[in-house]
Structure 1
Amino acid sequence: MLELQSIVKEWQPPQGVARPLLRGVSVSVAAGETVALLGSSGSGKSTLLRIAAGLEAADAGSVRMDGQDITALPPERRGFALMFQDFALFPHLNVQDNVAFGLVEQRVPRKAARDQAVAMLARFGLSAYTHSKVWQLSGGEQQRVALARALITRPRALLLDEPFSALDADLRLQLRAEFKAHIAEHRMATLWVTHDEAEARAVAVRGYRLQDGVFCPIW
């Protein structure tokens, strides 16, 4: 279970006075469960994901995974996968090596990592693009590559920041179903940031709106 406990964060603009962004926010996400976070731009949704991932420090509060306090752990030791809306793929690597990257970082031998990447790409119908550059792929194909890269390391938690915002409606529906199936299969605790309440209700067991630094339950 992923737990964010009493997270506090102030936002300091380049000019002006600091203001509270997160006012003691708490949320828990069980293995295989998806919780949606909604809110306007600048409400602190992405900041909360970055704190969960270890990319940004909270002013107060803690992050726990399966009962262990991991607040002080660096991102690479948390075993989480964070997916941004721009996919964050490496343009200098081909599709196979993009997917294998996380395994190589975990010191899996390169050949074994590439073999696992080929198998994962086959699951997503991307075998024909193994040696392609990622910029040669469509938006939906790039999203599948990003998902394959996230899943191959078997992360304990998946943190999604507007993953489908740049895609058309039909593709969003298709990928939404794929994500939901894989999250359940791999038993990942998932925090899903989105501005689309219909999408949130389709994938998440619970939804919260982040407003004025606090969570308001939606369902």
Structure 2
Amino acid sequence: MLELHHLRQNYGPRALLKDIHLSVAAGEIVALLGPSGSGKSTLLSIVAGLQAPLSGSVWFEGDDITAWPPEQRRFALMFQDFALFPHLNVLDNVAFGLVEQRIGKRYARAQALDMLRLFGLDSQAQHKVWHLSGGEQQRVALARALITRPRALLLDEPFSALDADLRATLRDEFRSRIQAAGIPTLLVTHDASEAQAMAARAVRLVDGVLERLW
């Protein structure tokens, strides 16, 4: 379980996050909504270990990980721009995280190919990522995130760059794969319909405080 306790953060003189409490269970998707500038991405960055909170703590499976660097937390963070490597083919994009963990390249590629099969993309393993459609690129990004078996998944507006029909398709696919993998997931979105389609629970960040939506 991922737990946030008494998190506070300022943006200049303004209190951006005020005593944030939140828990996300294994396999659960919790949506985080709120207006632009409300601190949603800042909260995600704190959970990922990319910035330190002013006060409070982040816990995972009973451990206080507030001071842990991102690589020690082993959380996967996905952005709306997919953040794929244009100089690598699809297979090596997916294998990248395993190679970074010093797993042999041959084994990493074999695992990546198995993951691509799950997403129906194995026939495009040798293609450059810019040859793929937006939906295919997003599937590659999710495959790359899941192959390292992350302990938690942090999604920052992952579908905002896609058209409405494709968003609807990928929401269902992401939800089923996340639940099957049993990964606690925090989804930042501005879209209430997206939150309803994907999340078991939803909260809204307003004036630095979390409000329960459902």
Q: TM-score, normalised by structure 2?
A: 0.98
Larger deviation, residues 42-51 vs 130-139: 130-139
The Cα offsets for residues 178-209 of structure 1, whole Å up to 9 and x where unpaired, read as 11111111100000011111110111111111
Alignment of 1:192 with 2:187, yes or no, is yes
Give ranges in structure 1 of 5+ residues lacking alignment: 13-17
The Cα offsets for residues 5-30 of structure 1, whole Å up to 9 and x where unpaired, read as 11100012xxxxx2110011110000
Alignment of 1:34 with 2:29, yes or no, is yes
Alignment of 1:113 with 2:108, yes or no, is yes
One-letter amino acid of the counterpart of residue 161, structure 2? A
Partner residue in 2 for 1:215: 210
Q: Distance in 2 between matches of 1:66 and 1:120?
A: 26
| 1:8 alignment partner, SS class | strand
The Cα offsets for residues 82-130 of structure 1, whole Å up to 9 and x where unpaired, read as 0000011111111111100111111111110000001111111111211
Query: 1:174, CA displacement in angstroms?
Result: 0.9
The residue correspondences of 1:49-198 to structure 2 (distance < 5 A) are 49-198=44-193
Q: TM-score, normalised by structure 1?
A: 0.96
Runs of 4 or more above 2 Å deviation: none
Root-mean-square deviation (CA, aligned residues, Å) is 0.7
One-letter amino acid of the counterpart of residue 46, structure 2? I
Partner residue in 1 for 2:197: 202
One-letter amino acid of the counterpart of residue 10, structure 1? N
